[in-house]
Amino acid sequence: MAVANPRLRLRRWILATGLAVIAAFVGSSVYDAWRLYDQLSESTERELTNLARALSEEAERSLQAVDLLLTDTQLWYESTGRSLTGLEIERALASRGSATPYVSMLTVVDAEGDQRFRSRTRSVPLAHVADRPYFIAQRDGLAKGLFINPPIVTRTDKKISLVVSRRLEHNGEFDGVVTASVTLDDLREVYDAIRLGEHSALLLTFDDGRVVVRHPVHEVIKPDTMFPEVVALKDQPVARRISPVDGREKFIVAASVADRPLILAVTRDVQGALQPWRDDLVTVAVRTVLLTGVVLLTMAVLIRQLTRLEAAEAERAQLEAQLRQAQQLEALGTLAGGIAHDFNNILGAILGHGEMAQREAPEGSALRRHVDRVMQGGERARLLVRRILDFSRGSVRERVLVPLKAVAEEALALLAPGLPATVRLDASLRANRVAVRGDPTQVHQLVSNLCANAVAAMPDGGVLTVGLECAELEQALRLSHGSVGPGVFACLAIADTGTGIAPEVYARMFDPFFSTKRVGEGTGLGLSVVHSIVAEMGGALDVRTASGQGSRFSIWLPIAGDAGEAETGARPADAEMPRGQGQTVMLVDDEAALLESAEEMLAQLGYEPVGFCSAAGALQAFRDDPQRFDAVLTDETMPELAGTALAAELQALRPGLPVIVMSGYGGPPLEARVKAAGARALLSKPLAMRDIAEALARHGFS
């Protein structure tokens, strides 16, 4: 105890110190990231605010220059211009217009709305502009001094222009307007000289949000496009908004252009503006992760050294055993997945043709006896593949209420005829109405495996005892391999009077592939499957053995209900198989032997089979005549198109078509794909004729 306490304190000190260092790293990194983010945001906002202010002032200066030009032209025309000849007036307008480079045209319009004079002569006739908003506003006195018209296509230049106007008067009465046209192309050239910065844009709008010009040009934004959010942000601090143009977040600042009805906004993409922060954030994150990893690695090394000092040899051995078992389970899973499909296809062809040969062979003949032996071997092979898949698949089967006594009696009834003459069976099954939750086939397998092992342990004969009782446990009961309780349990015990289990075998008896039999006599999966099934059903095992005195395997399973509500899943072997009425069944399988045997089975069952060894060929045939087929049987694993994918294609062409998928695999993922594809059932390979008959009767034509 005196040694353990310092080690415990040292472990705590290592953990506390390491966590404190990691917290310091993380805190420092978070602070650095936050500080950089704040600095970049503040810098961007300051830059955009200054830029918007400078550009709005520049816009105001430009408007003042235009206004000064119009005012000067207005006063000149009202005082002396009217008395000059047309040629003299146009020369004067040209001289005045050239002083302001971005003004493309100066015009004088009379009170009737007819253009009288222009600063530049054009082949286009003088236009009538009485319908233009700027003329109406000046004529009706709606404009107070300078009036800025939204961008319009001028009738002189045929270009989109911003038309600015002032009112002309004679003897106090309206006498027309003088206008200055600024084409948007010329205005954009002015803004092209301004460096806004990367990921930035300039937006000049009226005070109702209508766009005048956008730089750089964007194909989505046209003149008169409305941006009401710009109006809401006028003369406000920099804000962040999602752009309706590209859906990206933007910094945006909007400044009024003096007392003009204009707003100048500058935007910058948030992602682009903060890119340096993100780049630095990656560096900070990598640095933090690396430093944290170094600290964690150091902590792990130190704690591992302490753990090594504290561990006993038995714990290391246990870890090594668990590692070996995990590696064996992984290898088994890989093996089972690789062989299941091919082996089931081979086995399916053997059993399919064998079943038809068995039906045709005369009862009592030598041929019938040979075929019976072939079918018995095939069934043993089918059970072997099922054992491998059950153990390695890792998926939970559908669990139902299983009458334990009935299933045990059924298993013993099949076992009894094959017992050696020197072995006596003594069965005492008392739990009449006990049901457990699980898979009937697996429960049957439990009894068969344990009884087969017990018989093998009595080469010179003995007594095989099978008992079934109920027990109510008020507290947990610790067993040799697990624990149960409290609760109500069924105890199925299988005992023999054989040689017993040696200690070195006892330690490994549930390991996969471990067997004491000679090569070729066993797979080493029997007890490992038993252990997996019991664990899956929520039970535990108790094994008692002594050298030369036999062994007793007790299986404790929680009682889940009454046997009257349960079912064994068995069916009468001699029950009449459902038959077809000449319906046409499409059969798809890339294995020629399986396709041939299945076609013959369907024909014997009264159906008209049409076989395809290619999913693509089957799909094309269905497209050519979708009403030809009454049902479809398809393999799942095929090179061109999986069965579930084929089922989905067929359902799209003809909704409601009965499709049944066949596979040597199984489990919830495949069942989910079958359901999603619209197929009605999933059959496990290899298939017997009865499987096909009942599946078609239940799912094919109901």
2-24 burial, b if ≥16 CB within 10 A, otherwise e? eeeeeeeeebeebeeebeebbee
pLDDT of residue 677: 93
Among 533, 506, 523, smallest CA distance to 441 is for 533
Is 3 a residue whose pLDDT tops 50?
no
Among 261, 267, 198, 196, smallest CA distance to 229 is for 267
In this predicted model, what pLDDT tens digit does every residue of 238-282 receive, in sequence order?
988 888 877 888 889 998 888 888 888 888 888 888 888 888 888
Is 345 a residue whose pLDDT tops 50?
yes
Q: Give residue 624's pLDDT band: very low, low, confident or very high (50, 70, 90).
A: very high
How far apart CA 114 and CA 126 sit, in angstroms, is: 7
Q: Which helix (H) or strand (E) holds 442?
A: helix 440-456
pLDDT of residue 621: 94
Is 338 a residue whose pLDDT tops 90?
no
pLDDT of residue 633: 95
Do residues 595 and 589 make contact, with C-beta atoms less than 8 angstroms apart?
Answer: yes
Is 325 a residue whose pLDDT tops 80?
no
Q: Where are the alpha helices (DSSP H) in 210-312?
A: 228-232, 270-273, 275-310
pLDDT of residue 340: 62
What value does the CA radius of gyration of the chain take, rounded to a whole number of Å?
A: 46
Phi first, then psi, for residue 549 (nearest 5°) are: -120, 10
Q: Which domains does the chain have, with CATH numbers?
A: 80-187 (3.30.450.20), 315-388 (no CATH), 396-565 (3.30.565.10), 584-700 (3.40.50.2300)
What six digits make up the tokens of 701?
Answer: 């034509």
How far apart CA 339 and CA 253 sit, in angstroms, is: 68
What six digits make up the tokens of 216?
Answer: 């750089």
Instruction: Lowest mean pLDDT of 448-457, 521-530, 577-586, name the range.
Output: 521-530
**What global pTM score does this model have?**
0.41
Q: Which helix (H) or strand (E) holds 161?
A: strand 160-170
Mean pLDDT of all residues in 61-67: 85
Among 220, 174, 177, 149, smallest CA distance to 73 is for 177
Q: Give residue 393's pLDDT band: very low, low, confident or very high (50, 70, 90).
A: low
Is 186 a residue whose pLDDT tops 80?
no
Strand pairing report for 681-684 and 659-663: parallel
pLDDT of residue 453: 87
Residue type, 257: V
Q: Give residue 519's pLDDT band: very low, low, confident or very high (50, 70, 90).
A: very low
Give the position of tokens 């948030």: 270
Q: Give residue 395's pLDDT band: very low, low, confident or very high (50, 70, 90).
A: very low
Is 527 a residue whose pLDDT tops 80?
no
Partners of residue 252 on adjacent β-strands: 239, 267
What is the distance in angstroms between the CA of the first residue and the CA of the last residue of the chain? 74
| Strand ranges in 309-450 using DSSP code E only, listed in sequence order | 400-403, 423-429, 434-438
Q: Where are the alpha helices (DSSP H) in 516-583?
A: 526-536
DSSP secondary structure letters along 545-561: E-TTS-EEEEEEEEEEE
In this predicted model, what pLDDT tens digit does every residue of 431-480 receive, in sequence order?
778 889 888 878 888 898 899 889 989 999 999 999 999 988 988 889 98
pLDDT of residue 328: 63
Is 500 a residue whose pLDDT tops 60?
yes
How far apart CA 651 and CA 181 sit, in angstroms, is: 66
Partners of residue 145 on adjacent β-strands: none
How far apart CA 174 and CA 52 sit, in angstroms, is: 38
pLDDT of residue 2: 45
SS3 at position 176: strand
Q: Give residue 285's pLDDT band: very low, low, confident or very high (50, 70, 90).
A: confident
Whether residue 486 is preceded by a cis peptide bond, meaning omega within 30 degrees of 0, is yes
Comparison of pLDDT for 192 and 618, the residue scoring more? 618
pLDDT of residue 193: 65
What six digits make up the tokens of 172?
Answer: 């106090």
Mean pLDDT of all residues in 577-591: 92
* Distance from the Cα of residue 265 to its chain's centroid: 42
Among 691, 636, 631, 702, smallest CA distance to 664 is for 636
In this predicted model, what pLDDT tens digit does every residue of 71-93 receive, in sequence order?
999 999 989 988 899 899 889 88
What six digits make up the tokens of 232?
Answer: 């809401």
pLDDT of residue 573: 47
The counts of H helices and E strands in the chain are 18, 24
Q: Give residue 522's pLDDT band: very low, low, confident or very high (50, 70, 90).
A: very low
SS3 at position 126: coil
State what percent of residues in the chain have pLDDT above 90: 23
Instruction: Lowest mean pLDDT of 169-183, 307-321, 399-413, 482-496, name the range.
Output: 307-321
SS3 at position 593: helix
How far apart CA 121 and CA 140 sit, in angstroms, is: 29
SS3 at position 537: coil
Is 572 a residue whose pLDDT tops 70?
no
Residue 547 backbone zone (phi > 0: left; psi -120 to 50: alpha; other: beta):
beta
Among 553, 557, 555, smallest CA distance to 544 is for 553
In this predicted model, what pLDDT tens digit does every residue of 93-114 receive, in sequence order?
888 888 877 788 899 999 999 9
What average pLDDT does the structure give for the chain?
83
Phi first, then psi, for residue 240 (nearest 5°) are: -115, 130
Four-residue CA torsion sign, 641, 643, 644, 649: positive
pLDDT of residue 389: 61
Comparison of pLDDT for 478 and 355, the residue scoring more? 478
Mean pLDDT of all residues in 298-316: 77
383-402 burial, b if ≥16 CB within 10 A, otherwise e? eebbbbbbbbbeeebeebbb
Is 344 a residue whose pLDDT tops 80?
no
How far apart CA 552 and CA 491 sit, in angstroms, is: 12
In this predicted model, what pLDDT tens digit does every residue of 5-20 receive, in sequence order?
777 788 888 888 888 9
State what percent of residues in the chain have pLDDT above 70: 86
* Distance from the Cα of residue 111 to its chain's centroid: 71
Q: Give residue 520's pLDDT band: very low, low, confident or very high (50, 70, 90).
A: very low
Do residues 484 and 540 make contact, with C-beta atoms less than 8 angstroms apart?
Answer: yes
In this predicted model, what pLDDT tens digit does every residue of 189-230 receive, in sequence order?
767 667 777 788 888 888 888 888 787 777 667 767 888 888
Residues in the chain: 702
Is 156 a residue whose pLDDT tops 60?
yes
What six digits make up the tokens of 493?
Answer: 């015990």
Instruction: Lowest mean pLDDT of 147-156, 313-322, 426-435, 457-466, name the range.
Output: 313-322
Q: Which helix (H) or strand (E) holds 689?
A: helix 689-695
Instruction: Lowest mean pLDDT of 99-108, 398-407, 525-534, name the range.
Output: 525-534
Residue type, 111: A
Do residues 158 and 79 make contact, with C-beta atoms less than 8 angstroms apart?
Answer: no
pLDDT of residue 335: 62
Do residues 165 and 149 make contact, with C-beta atoms less than 8 angstroms apart?
Answer: yes
